Amino acid sequence: MLERFRAFWTRLLNPIARLFIKLGISADAVTLVGTLGVCTGALVFFPQGKLLAGVLFITAFVFSDLIDGHMARVTGKTNRFGAFLDSTLDRIGDGAIFGGLALYFAGPGDSRLYLWLSLICLVMGSVTSYARAKAEGMGYHAKVGIAERSDRLVSILVMTGLGAIFDLPILMEVTLWALAVASTVTVLQRVWTVRQQAYAEAASS
């Protein structure tokens, strides 16, 4: 759903991308620094209960995912390694966010239920991405589902931030429930989609 806004944000961040290019900064370096920033915000601030600070810190770095790709296209230095690195580090950043929330609920948040929900979101989010990558590697398409990566990321960051601002932890808690369900449904949708393609292929051969 949120992928439709990618072009808008890319245009908005274009001046920053061009500045980095002039400074001789590579797209891969932006990818790496962005991931380190996201991991730092999630694993340093969240476990201490500093949810708003963590969200703001993460937000400052999360747009690197758009900047690095735009830099590669502008410079004409797009390559398969860059795409591989970007995708791999995205999984690390996503895991850090939900891992940080799990540590928060294991500490100051003091909730075993939401600790487990955070871990479910972490695992199912990773499986969602893996299922699509594995399917495409086998020649099938699996870009289906109700919870794309950008939807999951924006939802949890926005609701965690708003919950911290207005002292309404229920916003984050409801979002974790929604994402746990949506991610699980998305995995099942992708498994079913690939199953249909695989059986249709077998029947026609």
Catalytic residue numbers, as ranges: 90
CB contact burial 81-109 (16+ within 10 A = b; e otherwise): ebeebbeebbbebbbbbbbbbbbbbbeeb
Count CB atoms within 10 A of the CB of residue 52: 14
Angle 67-100-111 (CA atoms, 0-180°, nearest 5)? 145
| Of residues 67, 12, 70, the one with CA closest to residue 35 | 67
Closest CA to 157 of 202, 204, 197, 100: 100
Give the angle 138-122-65 at the CA atoms, nearest 5°: 70
139, 144, 149, 151: CA torsion to nearest 10: 160
Distances (CA, A) of 146 to 128, 150, 158: 11, 11, 18
